[in-house]
Structure 1
Amino acid sequence: MTAATTRRTTARHRGTGTADFATTDTPIGPFTALTDATGYVLAAGWTTDAENLRTLIHPALRPTELRHRDSLGPVTQAVIDYHRGDLTAIDTVPVRQHSGEFLLHAWEVLRQIPAGSPITYTEFAAGAGRPDATRAAANACARNAAALFVPCHRVFRIGGALGGFRWGLPIKRWLLDHEA
């Protein structure tokens, strides 16, 4: 993959200083992203509560302070472009999450699911190399802090039920319809 790859970190300490955040209006509500000093997305979602997003970040990467910005440059532009119809705008935004090997790999697999081609949790588990681990695949979606950029909304249950989504099923439905 490119720079958009979820990066594994060897950080062994808690807290990483200051993260920047910005909130952007979208057709489905305000979207906030938090980035580290190098511009990698640490967390994102449809909320104005940056502190809530901060708590989703693994302790090894969790910033100790948050700084509001009007824009996060290319991250903010990608959010705007995606919601305006450029479904690939989010593909090159770099993301940094921390976890074990399976979750890191599963998040990479999520980033490779094309817009408009959602898959089931069973297919996701198989694509992540653990075909019998549907629950582990669902857990990867649930623990994903970087919504939109790591598009867990593109995974649904067998039979077409949406499954869960931290930001609510109406937002997940809108995203899937937007990408169809």
Structure 2
Amino acid sequence: MSTADFTIVDTPIGPFTALADADGTVLASGWTDDAENLRQLIHPRLRPAELRQRDSLGAISTAIIDYHRGDLTAIDAVPVHQHSGEFLLHAWEVLRKVPAGDPITYTEFAAISGRPNATRAAANACARNAAALFVPCHRVLRIGGALGGFRWGLDVKRWLLSHES
């Protein structure tokens, strides 16, 4: 029976929860205080059976705080582990390379992920991303600059994009 640790960090846009495995790798995260909801977003092969709350997750907590305070690269080195098919895993790695302050469209995301005709698949990669912030799906917009969707709400996405610009 596996256990993941989680912590809840207060941010300017509400509580942010991160779940991590024993190695300090993020399994899921987002602007919520509901760790169980986040646990359910984790692929069944990686999903921990139990959760244990901690005051801090060390480097993960520091990165969350530093990012929200303005160090936009603080999240870049935090390891993330998600599980899915080859395209989604690759697309999530591509997302981690999209620089803060330089959002891309879903069409551009599909192209740089190696499937230029798969805009819907690219959007699906964003929708299925369990590790928000660390895999910055908020940096993908619709053509024309419309926000598109975001699991944590468009107000949060708007704040993040403004924070990064």
- Per the TM superposition, whether the score is higher than 0.5 is yes
Query: Cα deviations across residues 79-138 of structure 1 (Å, max 9, x unaligned)?
Result: 000000000000000000000100000000000000000000000000000000000000
Q: 2:5 aligns with which of 20, 45, 69?
A: 20
How many residue pairs end up in the alignment? 165
Which residue identity is paired with 2:27? Answer: L
Aligned to 1:137: 122
Structure 1 residue ranges (4+ consecutive) displaced by more than 3 angstroms after TM superposition: none
Residue equivalent to 1:177: 162
Distance 1:95 1:77 in 2: 15
Aligned position for 1:57: 42
Question: TM-score w.r.t. structure 1 length?
Answer: 0.91
Partner of 1:159: 144
| Alignment gaps of 5+ in structure 1 | 1-15
Q: Tell me which residue corresponds to 1:90.
A: 75
User: Which of the numbers 56, 75, 79 marks the counterpart of 1:71?
Assistant: 56
Q: Which residue of 2 aligns with 1:81?
A: 66
Q: Distance in 2 between matches of 1:145 and 1:100?
A: 14
Report the TM-score, using the length of structure 2 for normalisation.
0.99
RMSD: 0.5
For residue 115 of structure 1, the aligned residue among 93, 100, 104 is 100
Q: Percent identity?
A: 81
1:61-88 deviation digits (Å, cap 9, x = unpaired): 0000000000000000000000000000
| CA–CA separation in structure 2 for the residues paired with 1:148 and 1:160 | 20
| CA–CA separation in structure 2 for the residues paired with 1:39 and 1:53 | 16
Tell me what 1:11 maps to: none
Specify the alignment match of 1:100 in structure 2. Answer: 85
Instruction: Name the CA distance, whole Å, in 1 between partners of 2:47 and 2:40.
Output: 7
Structure 2 gap ranges (5+):
none
Match of 1:44 among 13, 29, 32: 29
Give, as a single letter, the amino acid of the residue that structure 2 aligns with 1:132.
Answer: N
Secondary structure of the structure 1 residue equivalent to 2:93: helix
Q: Is 1:146 aligned to residue 131 of structure 2? A: yes
> How far apart, in 2, do the equivalents of 1:31 and 1:129 lie?
32
